[in-house]
């Protein structure tokens, strides 16, 4: 198989080929590494590429296939890690020049739970992906590395903060990546890059060290297909005692049936969503959608009906909880910067510095009021799931905009939260939320639809996404900048 064609395969397609002997983990890893070398300069998706380590891991995976002792359904798949997760043997700079300058050359000797689970599954880690400084915003640029760009149009942002992971997956630089999401940071870039991303229920995937953004922060898989997301979830939910808030796998997989089994189940029926109750909210009561985005999400909702779901369009009439979110968010951001010293504030991302000048000096009462609003929002949205299994919204109400900017040109607000109204509130409520690519704007940019479930109904969300994908996957073409291109421009 041509090395460029290898980069079009999903993770499960790769491992099917490994098992039949038509392809090996070494060939796949070499193809991905070559593609990164060829394409990454246009995207800045990777901040570190481990050619030697990846090839050694691929050789080990090849031997496991020969011996018939593979570690998981994803053994040997080229995978990347967002540069916020500790990775033994490699530095973790989190997009910060301050952390890079403070590096004494001694890399970590421990892996974060997500990294450890990825390695235990036999995945081949090819490198680490870019993030804005401290993963603080909904786009991906930093003083350390500059701007990460969108494979559909390199003048545009891929979103963030897991923008490097999304750009890598979209461009064929490995079918799997890991991300974090404390306000939309896997779902935002998934929507902008035509990829799939799941923010699971809080505590389903263990986190260590704990995020400065506290219980807003989730880890999640980033892939090109819902089936790959499901397979990756089965590996990432391995328990880890370093996260005291983690829940057991049985919380979302009762009876031991995993995510991949639930996703594959949709192929057994012409109406796989028969009996699934879906609520469609165009704007949650406070968002405003680009017409192209709303049109494409409408198509996805009609597809859910065609798949057998009972769909009602509802008016939730929520008020925007952004003020409460800002208290929780920027209290965490300030906690990141303060230990770095008195001069740190002058050397961080200027837009973070500006935001902290506007959102600071919160009192204990401010924080408690924000928590109370968060709890009330959880009650309100929890009640929706008494009637409906799935809540559908656009993932993001607008298409991607210029790289290097926190907000679109001439936007009404400097805050990234002003254009992400449908993501951060589900971090506040801790519900599972999946972004699935569902169509394209007239200007050729991807649109994502968001599927939200009740807390711990993660498998239902993934199963619904897998069914939807069978109807809408063909509506999102491969991006212009892609490893399979014969001439990347």
185 is catalytic: yes
Catalytic residue among 185, 281, 435, 485: 185
482, part of any domain: no
Count of structural domains within the chain: 1
481, part of any domain: no
Distance CA 223, CA 234 (A): 14
485, part of any domain: no
Question: What domain range includes position 424?
Answer: 3-475
92, part of any domain: yes
Distance CA 427, CA 378 (A): 10
Q: Is 369 helix (H, G, I), strand (E, B) or coil?
A: helix
445, part of any domain: yes
Catalytic residue among 80, 161, 165, 211: 161
205, part of any domain: yes
Distance CA 424, CA 489 (A): 35
199 is catalytic: no
Catalytic residue among 82, 128, 137, 199: 82
82 is catalytic: yes
The tens-digit pLDDT sequence of the chain (489 residues) is 888 899 999 999 999 999 999 999 999 999 999 999 999 999 999 999 999 999 999 999 999 999 999 999 999 999 999 999 999 999 999 999 999 999 999 989 999 999 999 999 999 999 999 999 999 999 999 999 999 999 999 999 999 999 999 999 999 999 999 999 999 999 999 999 999 999 999 999 999 999 999 999 999 999 999 999 999 999 999 999 999 999 999 999 999 999 999 999 999 999 999 999 999 999 999 999 999 999 999 999 999 999 999 999 999 999 999 999 999 999 999 999 999 998 999 999 999 999 999 999 999 999 999 999 999 999 999 999 999 999 999 999 999 999 999 999 999 999 999 999 999 999 999 999 999 999 999 999 999 999 999 999 999 999 999 999 999 999 999 999 999 985 444
488, part of any domain: no
106, part of any domain: yes
Residue 85: which CATH number? 3.90.1300.10
DSSP 111-176: --HHHHHHHHTT-EEEEEE--SGGG-SSS-EETTTEE--BTTBTTB---SSSHHHHHHHHTTS-SE
């Amino acid at each position: 198989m041509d090395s460029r064609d290898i980069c079009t395969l999903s993770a499960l397609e790769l491992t099917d080929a490994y098992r039949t002997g038509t392809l090996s983990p070494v060939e796949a890893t070499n193809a991905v590494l070559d593609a990164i070398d060829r394409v990454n300069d246009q995207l800045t998706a990777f901040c570190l590429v481990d050619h030697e380590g990846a090839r050694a891991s691929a050789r080990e995976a090849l031997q496991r296939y020969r011996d018939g002792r593979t570690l998981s359904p994803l053994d040997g798949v080229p995978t990347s890690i967002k540069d916020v997760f500790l990775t033994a043997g490699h530095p973790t700079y989190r997009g910060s020049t301050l952390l890079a300058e403070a590096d004494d050359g001694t890399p970590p000797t421990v892996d974060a739970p997500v990294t450890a689970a990825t390695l235990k599954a036999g995945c081949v880690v090819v490198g680490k992906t870019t993030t804005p400084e401290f993963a603080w915003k909904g786009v991906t640029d930093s003083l350390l590395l500059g701007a990460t760009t969108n494979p559909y149009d390199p003048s545009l942002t891929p979103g963030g903060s897991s923008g490097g992971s999304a750009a890598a997956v979209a461009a064929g630089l490995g079918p799997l990546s890991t991300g974090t999401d404390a306000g939309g940071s896997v779902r935002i870039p998934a929507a902008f890059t035509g990829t799939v991303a799941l923010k699971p229920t809080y505590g389903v995937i263990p986190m260590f060290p704990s995020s400065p953004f506290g219980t807003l922060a989730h880890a999640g898989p980033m892939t090109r297909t819902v089936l790959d997301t499901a397979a990756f979830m089965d590996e990432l939910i391995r328990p880890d005692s370093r996260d005291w808030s983690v829940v057991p796998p049985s919380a979302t997989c009762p009876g031991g049936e995993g995510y991949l089994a639930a996703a594959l189940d949709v192929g057994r029926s012409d109406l796989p969503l028969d009996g699934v109750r879906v609520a469609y909210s165009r704007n949650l009561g406070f968002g405003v959608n680009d017409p192209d985005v709303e049109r494409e999400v409408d198509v996805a909702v009609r597809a859910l009906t065609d798949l057998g779901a009972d769909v009602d369009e509802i008016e939730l009439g929520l008020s925007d909880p952004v003020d409460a979110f800002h208290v929780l968010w920027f209290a965490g951001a300030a906690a990141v910067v303060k230990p770095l010293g008195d001069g740190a504030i002058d050397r961080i991302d200027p837009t973070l510095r500006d935001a902290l000048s506007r959102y600071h000096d919160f009192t204990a009462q401010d924080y408690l009021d924000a928590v109370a609003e968060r709890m009330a929002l959880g009650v309100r949205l929890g009640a929706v799931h008494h009637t409906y299994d799935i809540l559908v919204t656009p993932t993001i109400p607008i298409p991607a905009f210029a790289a290097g900017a926190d907000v679109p040109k001439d936007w009404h607000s400097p805050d990234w939260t002003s254009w992400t109204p449908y993501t951060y509130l589900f971090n506040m409520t801790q519900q599972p939320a999946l972004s699935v690519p569902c169509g394209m704007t007239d200007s050729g940019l991807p649109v994502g639809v968001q599927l939200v479930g009740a807390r711990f109904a993660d498998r239902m969300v993934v199963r619904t996404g897998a069914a939807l994908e069978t109807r809408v996957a063909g509506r999102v073409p491969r991006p212009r900048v892609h490893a399979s291109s014969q001439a990347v421009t």
